[in-house]
Amino acid sequence: MATINKNYLKLQGSYLFSTIAKKVAAYSAEHPEADIIRLGIGDVTKPLCPAVIESLHKSVDEMGGADTFKGYAPDLGYEFLRNVIAEKDFHDRGCDIAPDEIFVSDGAKSDCGAIQEIFGLDNKIAVCDPVYPVYVDSNVMAGRTGEYDEGLQRFKDVVYLPCTRDNGFVPEIPDEVPDLIYLCYPNNPTGAVIKKAQLQKWVDYALKNGSIILYDAAYEAFISEDDVPHSIYECEGAKGCAIEFRSFSKTAGFTGLRLGYTVIPKELKAGGEELWPLWARRHGTRYNGAPYIVQRAGAAIYTDEGRAQVREQIAGYLENARIISEGLRSAGYEVYGGVNAPYIWMKTPDGMSSWDFFDYLLENVQIVGTPGSGFGPGGEGYFRLTAFGSRENSLRAIDRIKNL
C-alpha cells in the first residue's frame, strides 16, 4: 500500500495568502463598489524592459531556424549567461566567483527550497523570525524540523533567530550552534538590510563552527545605500561557508519568465565533503534547465541599455517605497524598511494584532496588506506593505491612510 510523506502533514500556515484572498473576496462581494488598493502582493507590476523584450524576440526567432534552434540547455546554464553574471554581479564587486560556480535555474524559490536536499537530515537549521516561509517549509517536508508546538508556534528542532526593531531586524548569534543558517538580505518581509561588518560576524561564526550559511539575496538589486553588501562573498572567507541565491524576478520583472541562479563555490565543504558536485548532480538529475530564450533575456539585463532600463524600474519601485514609508511616518506610524527593499514593515498602532489591523485597513480604507504574523510569531504586531503597485496607487493609499 502506498503511503504519504507524513512530514507534509506537519506543514503550517500555508493559508496566509489564501486567507487574505478569501477575506478580500468576501469584502468585495458585500461592497461591490469598493475600490480596493492591493499593497499586499509580492509580485511586480511593471512590464519587461525593452532590452529584454528585444532579446526574447530575437531568441524566439532563433528557435525557429534549423541552424540556430536550441534544445536542452547545458546543466549549469549557458556560458554566455554565467560569464556575464560572474563578471558583473561578482568580479565587479571584488568577489572571486567563477562562471562554473554559478548554477542557472528557474528562480530562487526552487533553489532555496531544494538546497536542503544535499544536507543530512541530522542538520539543525536556523531561520530568522519573521521569515520567508520557504526555508522552514522545505525542511518540514524533508523531516528536519521535529514536531510543531502550537503554543509557541514553532517547530521543536528549529533554531529561531528573533529579528526585532531592537536588533534592527538583524539576528544575534544564537546560543545553540545551528548547522544550516538561512539569512535573507535585503529582507523579506522586514525590508531590513545587513551591514558588511554584521554579515562578516556571521561568516566568521559559520567558519568557526563548520556551519553553512544559505544566503538569499533575491532583493539585491534594491540596495541603494553604501556599506550594504550585495553579495555574501564580499565578506572575507565566505567562499568557505556560504551558498548564495539570486533571482531575476524582482530585479528585472521575471516573475512570469522564471530565472535565477545559485552560487556554490568549488572549495565549499560540509563535514569535509565538497558541496559543488552534490548540487551539480542534483541539478543534472532533477532539473533540465531554464529555457534558452529566458537565459538570453536574462543576459540582456547586463548590457548597458538593459542595465539602465532595469535600474529605472527599480528606482520607480523604490520611489513608491519612499512615498509609502514617508506618508505612513507623517501619519504617525512606526515604519521600517522601504529604503533598500520593496517592502515596508510597519508597527500596527495601539497594540493591534496583525490580523486586526488587516481587517481595519480593509474595512475603513479598502487597502490590502499582509499581516506580519503570517511570517512567524516574531511578525505579530507588524504589517507588510509592498512597493510593487503603481505610483498612483501608492499615493492614493497614503492619502486614504492619512485621512483615517
**Interacting residues toward ligand PLP by CB under 6 A:** 42, 107-109, 112, 132, 184, 188, 216, 218, 247, 249, 255, 260
Which stretch of DSSP H or E encloses residue 142?
helix 134-142
Angle, helix 391-402 to helix 354-365, in steps of 10 degrees: 100
Least CB distance to ligand PLP at residue 107 (A): 3
Least CB distance to ligand PLP at residue 132 (A): 4
Which stretch of DSSP H or E encloses residue 181?
strand 180-184
Least CB distance to ligand PLP at residue 32 (A): 31
Q: Are 334 and 326 in contact (CB under 8 A)?
A: no
- Nearest one of 63, 109, 102, 47 to 294, comparing CA atoms: 63
- Nearest one of 379, 381, 374 to 356, comparing CA atoms: 381
The angle formed by the CA atoms of residues 307, 327 and 230, to the nearest 5 degrees, is 30
Nearer to ligand PLP, 186 or 265 (CB): 186
Who's near 30: CB < 8 A, 6+ residues apart? none
Nearer to ligand PLP, 52 or 398 (CB): 52
C-alpha count within 13 angstroms, C-beta hemisphere, residue 156: 7
Nearer to ligand PLP, 264 or 398 (CB): 264
Which stretch of DSSP H or E encloses residue 149?
strand 148-149
User: In Å, how far from its chain's centre is CA 150?
Assistant: 26
Nearer to ligand PLP, 132 or 383 (CB): 132
Least CB distance to ligand PLP at residue 65 (A): 30
Q: What is the DSSP letter of 152?
A: T
Strand residue runs (E) in 260-304:
260-263, 269-270, 273-274
Nearer to ligand PLP, 222 or 358 (CB): 222
Nearer to ligand PLP, 115 or 398 (CB): 115
Q: Are 188 and 127 in contact (CB under 8 A)?
A: no
Residue type at 306 in one-letter notation: G
CA distance 310 to 308: 6
Which stretch of DSSP H or E encloses residue 136?
helix 134-142
- Nearest one of 75, 86, 139, 83 to 263, comparing CA atoms: 86
User: Residue of minimal CB distance from ligand PLP?
Assistant: 107
Nearer to ligand PLP, 246 or 327 (CB): 246
- Nearest one of 226, 257, 261 to 243, comparing CA atoms: 261
Nearer to ligand PLP, 247 or 366 (CB): 247
Nearer to ligand PLP, 128 or 401 (CB): 128
Q: Are 261 and 104 in contact (CB under 8 A)?
A: yes
